[in-house]
Structure 1
């Protein structure tokens, strides 16, 4: 252990600084033009929208997947996820948001290679006014 401390001193570690690094995405609203000034311009960026705005991002012949929460920070292509076309995605997303009661991650995928083009966080229209205690509201 003493050897490591000496080696670090030789590297002039006094000039090092500690920083926090979080893996994740910055989601900006679909109508937002710019990132906030305090955000790293190299941040991973997705878009968020209310469920009632979903029709605004659906283009004919586009394909989507609903990304399970366990894969939100990783890659989806190792999983056998169902691909929804533009004709079904609104109905499927509405049903899923009704089922889970909170936002879901929807990914637009390239039909040629099934790679993610854009990630969308789709939230209920009443978000962020959702109660923290959903169970009390339901019964």
Structure 2
């Protein structure tokens, strides 16, 4: 996580974002480090990108231990996701906004889902439009 935050440092500072980490110090999960890097980079980048005008991004990244591994939560105070679109956001090329508002391909969350599934985990989102989103990622501690 430190590497990701370091790589996003300019974006974090430019946006005036506040990033808070809780419970992540001793977490070790099984997996492909490059894929896991991409997973968390995509989710944190989205929290920095999909912001409300005039409001600095706030990201809360927490981890809690579960029976099989860890549940990560990446919560933001951004624009949120409409309930009408929530079931589609993990499908490829799903864009909720036009390119003039927010750049991107619509592949980021589909890639995240694929990475999590390849690691035997799950991903879900809770969101309130106009208030922000919370992405929950469950990953195992080791291969079973």
TM-score by length of 1: 0.26
Bigger radius of gyration among the two: 1
TM-score by length of 2: 0.25
Which protein, 1 or 2, shows the higher relative CO under an 8 Å CA cutoff with sep ≥ 6? 2
